[in-house]
Every structure is written in structure tokens, then in C-alpha cells.
Structure 1
Amino acid sequence: MRRRVAFLFLGETLLIPHLFPIVEALAGLDPGLPIDLWVATSVHEDLLTRWTAEFRSVRIRRAPGFRTVRASDGRNPPLPPKLPILLRLVPYLLRTPVAVCAEQTSLWIPRVLPWLPTRFVKTSHGVGSMSARDDRRRMAAFHTLVPSEQERRTYLDRGMAPERIIATGYVKAAFRQRTPAKALFADERPILLYTPHWQAHRSSWPAWGRAVVEQLGAQRDWNVILAPHQRLVETAPEVREVLAGVSGLPHVHVDLDSFAMVDGSYTAVADLYLGDTSSQLIEYLVRPRPALFLDPAGRDWRADPGYAMWAAGEVVTDLADLAPAIARAPERHAGFLAAQTRTAADAVGDTSGAGAGRAAEEILRVLAMA
């Protein structure tokens, strides 16, 4: 097969910052290497075309089933069905030694077609104690790239061969195309970011979401960014109506669609994180700051390793205590600083941005084996 690498940008735009820094690093390490970026929609195409103009060997390719959508500003688009896209991609991948993806769905190809000569490299996007690691498709990847040694150990414990799981550092730390987010509000106040998870069993939204939004809209001590997980609207369509009720307030910024939701802009600018189990917390804790967690179910979370991240801040189990908890979070932060530092370091390892380069080097190593 001809020397070539394919990157699969077939999922939500939230995956782009976990993949694109590797594209940049790979194009820099091996400027003559043909790199195909397979895209599912015109939103992906517009963003990646803008960022790859300087790389002559990088080509944007429309995946079979490509969808043209009206949005051209990075808003998360409706995606075409992924399994038909993957099936129709197989003839193209037969001529490609290495394919790189950031989600499990693409790993159906090597799982169902293990004879395919293409070697799949899977890079992480979700991190932290709640990440799903038991999906059997993950075992079909030729190599898996994770951010930290702790994360690597979780896969070794599940039986993955040591030579197939590599800790690189946090790739998204190298993403340079963030949306400026500092000028969102007219008045200078500290900024609170509320990011409930999209899966109901992990999220504070079903039980408390509406009430939390009402409280945040009614208070005036904080500027508020309401930017829940990108997929929450799919599972809880009432989110748009609830957030629309406060979107006109001068101290509230609502975002359910833009690329800023997923590129790290809001976690970078926030002074207080309010959420539940989203991996955005780990991204936020790379620079430790106050955090609060919402637990409507009153879980025995200290006995569950899946909730280890909640050691990084106060856990609110009574909605009546939310406002006082927000008020005291800055002064109590020092008591959580050590846990925050440990949580971030364990989950994402090196956050200098060097992870993208290490991932690119690993891809070249896999390419040399093909």
C-alpha cells in the first residue's frame, strides 16, 4: 500500500480538538506524507480547510454520505448516519495503511473486518473517572493513545496488550484554534460555567437542570456561561426552551451550538466550574480553580471509583444549598487544591502540548510497520 494516513472526522465537532493537533504535528514531522482528512459535513470541511492551508500534503476528502448544511460557523451539525459512511469508506481505506479516529464507532471497521490491512489508531477524547473503557470495539484498535499512565493502566487491567496502549500526554492541550471568549459580558464579574453531562444517569440535568438555570439567572454576583455537553439537546430537547428563558439576561451567555462549546474556550475563561461528571472538568482543572458538583441522587460517591473526580470540590446534594455553595467556593478552594492537581495529573498527564507530537511519532511508527 502507498504510504498514507487517514484521519476520520466523522463524529461531533467536539472530537476535532482531540484529532487536529495530531494532524498538525504529523504534517510538521513528515511534510511529504499524504494525509487525508475524511469529513462528514460541510461544517467539518470549512473548519479544517481554514486550518490546513499551509500544509501541502494534507487533503480534505468528503466521506461517502457527506452532508452539506447551512451552518458554516462551526456549529455542531446534524450528522449523516455513521455506519453507512464507514461501510462505504472501506474501499478507500483498503489503500490506506493507517487510519486515526477519536471515537469508538469507527472501530466497527477493524472489529467486523479484522482482515482489513488498515491499522486503526484510536486516540482518546473523554478523560477522567467516568470514561467508558469496556466497549469491546476498543480492543479492535491496532494502537490506542491515551493521555496518562494512569489511564493506560486502566486498559492494561482490562487485558489490552502493553505494546498496543501508549501514554502521550493530553493532545487537546495543543489545540491552537480556540474561540476568543473573554468579551462575552459587559460587566466585570467572575465567570461561572455550568456544564451538565448529556447522559441522564450521569447528569444533574433531569432532576435539577431547570431549577439550577433559574437560580443562576436570578443571581447577579456571577456572570454565567451555560454550555452543557454538546449532545444534551439530543437526549433532553427541553434544554433549548429552558436556556432560552435566560438568554436575554446581560450576565448570562447561552451556547448550545457553537464550536466554542468544545474547543476549550469556556473552560479556559471560567472562574468556577459547576457540573456533574463531564470530562470537561479535567480540562478545567489543568489550571486549578474552584469547582462544585451537583448530586441530586445523594450517591455514596466516595465508595465509587467512578466518581473520584468529585474529590476536587464540594458536592451539593440539596438544591437549597446551591447558592451558599457557590458563594463559599472561592474561599474553600485552597482545601481542594491538592486533590485538583492530583486529579488532573492522573487523568491527562503532560499538558504542555507535547502530547500531539508524541501521538504523531507513534503514528509514524505504526506506519513503518505496515
Structure 2
Amino acid sequence: MRELLSYDVIVSVENTVAWLAKRRKSDRPLFVFKSHGAGDRDVAWHPRIAEFDLLLPHGTKTAERYVEQGLGQPAAIRTTGYLKTDVTERLREGQQALFDTARPTVIYNPHKDRKQSSWRQAIEPMLDQFAGQDIFNLIVAPHVKMFRRRSASARQRWENRSTDSILIDTCSDRLLDNSYTVAADIYIGDVSSQVYEFTARPRPCVFLNFNKIDWRDNPNYLFWQMGEVIEDPAEIFAAVARARDLHPQYIEIQKKLTSDALGDDIRDGAEYAADAIVDYYRHGRTLRD
């Protein structure tokens, strides 16, 4: 802890480092929070965020919520865009095919949160429905922490269920670097913020509300406005099959919500963030009070 507190600036993508900010005895170091996701879940507004000096949300949605929740003042909030999109755009340029047979590709991207994840209800019906068809390829790409505490053999058992048209990944870097959201044509998910990485290029989405959440008019489920929401696991394949026909009615709301979440600039986000940190360190710290 002593070494960390000797630095001038500490940048974190997790709010848990706030405990360290409480232990400084002066204005040094400057604590900067750059969240790693862009979702709508209430975890994005954790009270610990108020301990940071400078907040760097991706877009206006998060900046406004920070102020509404009393987590920061406008003078100490700078929108910088979504840093991962720098990588995403480059990946698109040289990405190799994930399947031998070219078909429209579906990504299933369940969250790890047991209370909100669709994994337990969805995975077996989904694999059954996609196994008996030759229309789509399927990528099963769960939250990177879902299998973090599972044994290597357990992860391997799932990955061994991959086929020529179904790719199951439990732990590779592709779960993090947007390889799958770039490659896919249709998104299936629940509450993962990766949906906004997918809709950076508007494409069809299907959302799984198997926990029967009352989501309408709930700001923590804004992204469920970007596609059809279903509540029956037996309907997964049918919803995917009609997603492309339904997509035109969701394109404009996808553009609006994605811009609010990620910002308008999809390149050079890292440069914007670095400039904001340097500027605030040199000129803005007196504005915190």
C-alpha cells in the first residue's frame, strides 16, 4: 500500500480500489476511475465510485447517471469514448474465419451473475436447438469469470461439446478482446454490457428474460429495448430465426443507446483518456471541492 500511495496518479477499471483512496493522507495520488464495461446494471453506480477524484465514463449516459447518483461533479467527469473499440476496429481488419462453413453466426453471451444470468435455463435447450440445424453457426461465449473457479477438466468438458457449427469457449482471450462480437451476426444475451460492443455496428439482438424480470421502464435494462425479449427457452431458435426480419424496427434505438453508452468516437479513446488525466492532474484538481 505504501508504494502505491507514492505514485502521482492511480488509474483503475475496478471500483474496489476505492479502499486505497480512503487511506491517503493528502491529495496525492490522484485516483481515476475508468469503468471496464458500458452496461446499464445498477452495479455500475456503486457508492465506492464517489471516492475517486476523476471519473472517465465512456458516454453521456454514464456521465449523467454519475451526477444523478451523487457519485461525482460535472467538473470532475470527462467522457472519453470506449477504449476497447480501438482494438475492435483493428480486429475486424484481419480476423480469420471461426468456422469452416460460412453461415450467419450467432453469439450467446450470458453474464456470470446467477440472479440475472440465463445460463442455467438456456444452455441445454440452446445447444439442442442449434445441434439439429444447418442455418446458423453458434458461438457460446460466457462472461470470462463464469468458469474462473471451475477446474480445468470442467472447462474442458464444456469445450469438448463444440462441433463443426458450435464453438464453446470458457476461458480464452477471445472472451475479452471482442473477437466474437466482431465475428457474430446475431446476439443472444441477458445483462452483459458486451451487447453495446456488439451494437457498435447495429445488428439483430435477442434478449433472454428467463428470470421473469419486470424490465420495462427500468433504467438498469435499457439495452433490452434493442431487440426482442423472450421468456421461454423453447423459443430461442425461433427468436434467432426471426431476428433479422425484426431488426429494422430496432436500428434507431440501437444507434441512440449505443452512442449514449460508448460515446460517438470509436477510435482514439485511449488518447482522449490520457489527455483528460494529464489535464485534470495539472489544472483540474482544485475543482473537486
Fold shared, TM-score > 0.5 on shorter chain: yes
Say whether the 8 Å CA contact 2:139–2:167 is kept in structure 1.
yes
Give the aligned residue type for 1:253: L
2:205 corresponds to: 291
Compute the displacement of 1:192 (Å): 0.5
Alignment partner of 2:161 out of 246, 249, 272: 246
Q: 1:236 to 1:219 in 2, by over 3 A?
A: farther
Query: What CA deviation, in whole Å up to 9, does each residue of 1:215-269 have, x standing for no partner?
Result: 233332111111111011147779737733521x111122211111111111111
User: SS of the counterpart of 1:303?
Assistant: coil
Alignment partner of 1:146 out of 28, 39, 57: 57
2:83 corresponds to: 171
Q: 1:358 to 1:145 in 2, by over 3 A?
A: same
More strand as a share of residues: 1
User: SS of the counterpart of 1:231?
Assistant: coil
Query: What CA deviation, in whole Å up to 9, does each residue of 1:29-84 have, x standing for no partner?
Result: xxxxxxxxxxxxxxxxxxxxxxxxxxxxxxxxxxxxxxxxxxxxxxxxxxxxxxxx
Alignment partner of 2:74 out of 154, 157, 162: 162
> For this pair of structures, how many residues does the alignment match?
280
**Aligned equivalents of 2:25 and 2:240: distance in 1?**
51
2:31 corresponds to: 120
**Aligned equivalents of 2:87 and 2:207: distance in 1?**
27
User: SS of the counterpart of 2:201?
Assistant: coil
Give the aligned residue type for 2:136: W
1:110 corresponds to: 21
Compute the displacement of 1:329 (Å): 0.8
**After the TM superposition, which of the residue ranges 175-184 and 144-153 deviates more from structure 2?**
175-184
Q: TM-score, normalised by structure 2?
A: 0.89
Percent of aligned pairs sharing the same letter: 32
**Aligned equivalents of 1:173 and 1:165: distance in 2?**
20
**After the TM superposition, which of the residue ranges 149-158 and 318-327 deviates more from structure 2?**
318-327
Give the aligned residue type for 1:129: D
Compute the displacement of 1:349 (Å): 1.3
Q: 1:340 to 1:236 in 2, by over 3 A?
A: farther
Query: What CA deviation, in whole Å up to 9, does each residue of 1:295-338 have, x standing for no partner?
Result: 11233211322111111001111122212111111111111111
2:9 corresponds to: 98
Compute the displacement of 1:352 (Å): 2.5
1:365 corresponds to: 279
Compute the displacement of 1:147 (Å): 0.8
Return 5+ residue gaps in structure 1 as ranges.
1-89
Q: Does 1:327 align with 2:238?
A: no
2:113 corresponds to: 199
Give the aligned residue type for 2:101: D
Q: 1:261 to 1:118 in 2, by over 3 A?
A: same
Q: Does 1:132 align with 2:47?
A: no
User: SS of the counterpart of 2:139?
Assistant: strand
**Aligned equivalents of 1:242 and 1:311: distance in 2?**
35
Q: 1:93 to 1:312 in 2, by over 3 A?
A: same
2:175 corresponds to: 261
**Aligned equivalents of 2:154 and 2:57: distance in 1?**
32
Q: 1:269 to 1:114 in 2, by over 3 A?
A: farther
**Aligned equivalents of 2:42 and 2:217: distance in 1?**
17
Say whether the 8 Å CA contact 1:133–1:155 is kept in structure 2.
no
Return 5+ residue gaps in structure 2 as ranges.
none
**Aligned equivalents of 1:295 and 1:184: distance in 2?**
28
**After the TM superposition, which of the residue ranges 157-166 and 262-271 deviates more from structure 2?**
157-166
Q: 1:282 to 1:297 in 2, by over 3 A?
A: same
Q: 1:102 to 1:185 in 2, by over 3 A?
A: same
